Chains A and B, each alone.
Chain A
Amino acid sequence: MAEGIKDKVAIIGMGCTRFGERWDASPGKLMVEAFTEALQDAGIEKKDIDAAWLGTCYEETSVGKSAIPLAVTLKLPFIPATRVENFCATGSEALRGACYGVASGAYDIALAVGVEKLKDTGYAGLPQSDTQVGTTLRFAFPNYTPPGMFAMMGTRYFAHYGLSPQDGKRVLAHISVKSHHNGAMNPKAHLRREITIEDVLNAPIIAWPLGLFDCCGVSDGAAAAIVCRADMAKKYRPDPIYVKSLQIAASSGEEMMCTDWDFSHVESTVHAARRAYKEAGIKTPRKEISMMEVHDCFSITELTIYEDLGISPRGRAREDVEAGFYDLNGTIPCQPDGGLKCFGHPIGASGLRMMYEMYKQLQGKAGPRQIKNPKFGLTHNMGGIPPLNVVSICIVGL
């Protein structure tokens, strides 16, 4: 049995740009912005970094392939550098590379940077890159967009649990209203306006049953983390954050091709969560997790994540949502920074942005959004679509 990386790696510095329509900023400028903040936060110098990971998904509309753009932009001194990509879970993948590099003993200090420049696409939504499912499968895939793929989970979830579309949409609206409330307090968030249930229900449909306010922001941005060996972390700061578990699971294809999967949950999340809890030594997540940043690309995704993480019982996340369990002042606040919904979703940066919020909350530096005495923070970062995806889960604590 592998022993895992629990408490072997600490995060000692983080940075995150303002997310949004950064018409003025190149991907390079965004990377420098996030990196500079992280470096200052960690109190180290560039020469202290032993290795670097870059996460970026749509490289063709941004920096191009490989880790060279990171190394050249930051003028890294010929150190090992790697580019990773795992759809929308790319940011977590960069962090995983850095953490595993340090945990292995190969490096003392490693850097993870995630960046995405989505607003050079020329139209709304994510780039229409139809070969992203492969040059063969593109001919056999429907003419889809991400909202449509997740909307199918809404249609099915409602049917599976006997919710009328009207009732189902109202439950989902609660989720978006909560995230907008939190995001409005976050100066780095893309969308900073409080909304009402009625705003959500009356918004134009993007992909039935999802409307505009069921969908996250499409943003530019970058985030960075500096990690080091746990035993040397206190040398740099009194309040390092320790990685308790970092797990990932990828679809096996059975969701897409066998008729068993219910399209009302994400199977990879179930597997990643099981392993992450085990690695972190968490037995009752509903009681032990203090707060979460999950992959709320769409409101229905967040609803099903509550169940897949084993926090809300199957089919009953609705009750927790309506009871305010996941609100900022609730039992397990979810998306305290506004989530993908409001902070925005620059693909390669998102996983690191989630960690940025957990890091700041654990250090007590989250300002008006501060959660009282958090112990464990969980990030859930999903790449792909409900039937075909990778899910990364990271648990951190003091």
Chain B
Amino acid sequence: MVGITSYGAYIPLYRIARMTIYQALGWLNPASLLPGEKAVANYDEDSISMAVAAAVDCLDGGDRGKVEGLFFATTTAPYKERQNAGIIATALDLNSEVRTSDFTTSLKSGTGALISAYDAVSSGSAKSVMVCAADCRLGKPGGYQEEIYGDGAAAVLLGNKDVIATVEGTFSLSYDFVDVWRAAEDKYNRSWEDRWIRDEGYGKFIGEAISGLMKKYALSSKDIAKIVYPCIYTGAHASIGKKLGFGPGQIQNHMFTEIGHTGTAYPLMILVAALEDAKPGDKIIVASYGNGSDAVLLQVTKEIEKVKERRGIRKHLASKKDIDLYEKYVTFREVLNIDTGGRGDEVGTTQMTILWRERRMLLGLSGVKCKRCGMPQYPPQEVCANPKCGAINEMDDYRFSDKRGQLFTYTGDILAFSPSPPAIYGTVNFDGGGRWLFDLTDCELDSLQVGMPVEMSFRRKFHDVQRGVHVYFWKATPIRA
């Protein structure tokens, strides 16, 4: 029995109402207004950081040492060369004997990674493979895509023990249907005419894949509890299911008006939402869309009743803050090239030797715990920092990324450069011991209090534009509801 053993998701805290975008740029394209809002990554988030957050949600305290593979699906990989999945695996503090791969260039890469992980576990070459999908696509200002695209991530763990939803079959279609595309040198997507995409691509391929899957496994619409597929056009979304013979109750909510189209992560995020409400015995079909379609048939098992509640989709959806300024949104996403001032321009050399040597400390937030006195400490020390101990080289590794702490003190700094001023940082006393200074994110200065609980979140610390390096580190955030 091979299938999904755990799931998780991530939706950034910030949302922007499509009306806010329309009020800024609707004059360019008066017919562009779409309903609802979309999820927006903070200035320090990207597809890698969101994938880490979804994976942490999916791991839910589980044994990281048992994860034997990590597949990352995205079309917005920060790196074209340097494996993005490898950064995620290090941030998650996975064993270095892990199979990592990036799946990219199509919005069906998320389901592609899922099927590959299923194949790996089925073949016996790996016992447990994590699939993360995240996207953070940019629509050009003033166009439809700017309102359509949202940011988010999902993660599913595939394995052969304690399976909560078995993979019962797959069906794939590949078409070089060029509805949207982005060449290597492009920042924004380009697209062909909407009506053609809707009627000849989106309106056809999902249906073809789902009906192909049902035919292959001799199923009818009555056998299926939920079908899951992405939305680009709300009207067309409903009619795809209807044409296949599904009632409205069998079509999982697409969340298009809440989070937008989250790229490769989108079908998997909707799948996570479906799993949150699933009952043992439910059959679920998830289908992607992008240069064809993958459809995957899942059957929910009794194990789902043992799944502990996590943030997943439901809690992440409910926990949000509105960005009321379009200009703030385009600043966060580096669409607007703001004046960073003399101080913001100063970025030291990013030394690859150091990032390699200290990868566990910097990407994994791994510290040490003294074998003699038991005090956890960050960053890793050779000589114990406890003045009553002082043991030398008697340290065990100790992971801080999954520890919560208390905000011991903080400030909001106007002088330091930040795309979202003030730069907020503080001292965190970790539960169980250890203390360090961290940037704080996803919060406002007024909402902070001495002693409030915080958790750690993997973020992009800075973008060394001159050398083309995205430098990641962990920040503290108030505990997200």
Q: Could you tell me which A residues sit within 8 Å of B by CB distance?
A: 121-125, 127-131, 135-145, 147-149, 151-156, 159, 204-210, 252-254, 256-259, 263, 387
Contact = CB atoms under 8 A, between A and B. Distances in A.
A131 B348 contact: yes
17 contacts: A125-B415, A129-B346, A130-B346, A139-B354, A139-B362, A140-B473, A142-B439, A143-B423, A144-B423, A145-B413, A145-B416, A152-B427, A208-B412, A257-B436, A258-B375, A258-B387, A259-B429
Interface string B407-435: 01111111111100011011101000111
Nearest to B415: A145
Given A137-B379, A139-B358, A144-B423, A152 B414 contact: no
Contacts of A153: 409
Q: Which of A121, A135, A139 has the most CB of B within 10 A?
A: A139
A212 B376 CA distance: 38
B445 interface: yes
B412 A207 contact: yes
A143 to B, nearest CB: 5
A143 B476 CA distance: 13
A138 B435 CA distance: 17
A151 B448 CA distance: 14
Nearest to B375: A258
A263 B427 contact: yes
A142 B438 contact: yes
A258 B435 contact: yes
A209 B414 CA distance: 11
A258 B416 CA distance: 26
B135 to A, nearest CB: 26
A209 B362 CA distance: 30
Contacts of A137: 379
Determine the interface band of chain B, counting residues with CB < 8 A from chain A: 35 or more
A145 B343 CA distance: 10
A93 to B, nearest CB: 25
A147 B415 contact: yes
Nearest to B429: A259
Contact of A155 (B341, B386, B422, B450): B450
Contacts of A131: 348
B413 A207 contact: yes
Contact of B346 (A128, A253, A259): A128
| Residue from A127, A137, A256 having most chain B Cβ neighbours under 10 A | A256
Given A139-B471, A142-B425, A257 B414 contact: no
Contacts of B358: 136, 139
B343 A123 contact: yes
Contacts of B462: 143
Contacts of B391: none
A123 B343 CA distance: 7
A139 B409 contact: no
Contacts of A142: 423, 425, 437-439
Residue in B377, B408, B416 with the greatest tally of chain A CB atoms within 10 Å: B416
Interface-central residue, B362, B410, B415, B425, by most chain A CB under 10 Å: B415
A124 B408 CA distance: 29
Leading 6 A-B pairs by shortest Cβ distance:
A123-B342, A148-B413, A142-B425, A156-B409, A151-B411, A128-B346
Contact of B355 (A127, A139, A156, A259): A139
Contacts of A135: 348, 351, 354
Contacts of A145: 413, 415-416
Contacts of B435: 256-259
A253 B383 CA distance: 10
Contacts of B409: 152-153, 155-156, 159, 263
Contact of A207 (B375, B411, B438, B471): B411
A155 B354 CA distance: 34
Contacts of A263: 408-409, 427
Given A130-B348, A139-B362, A259-B434, A152 B416 contact: no
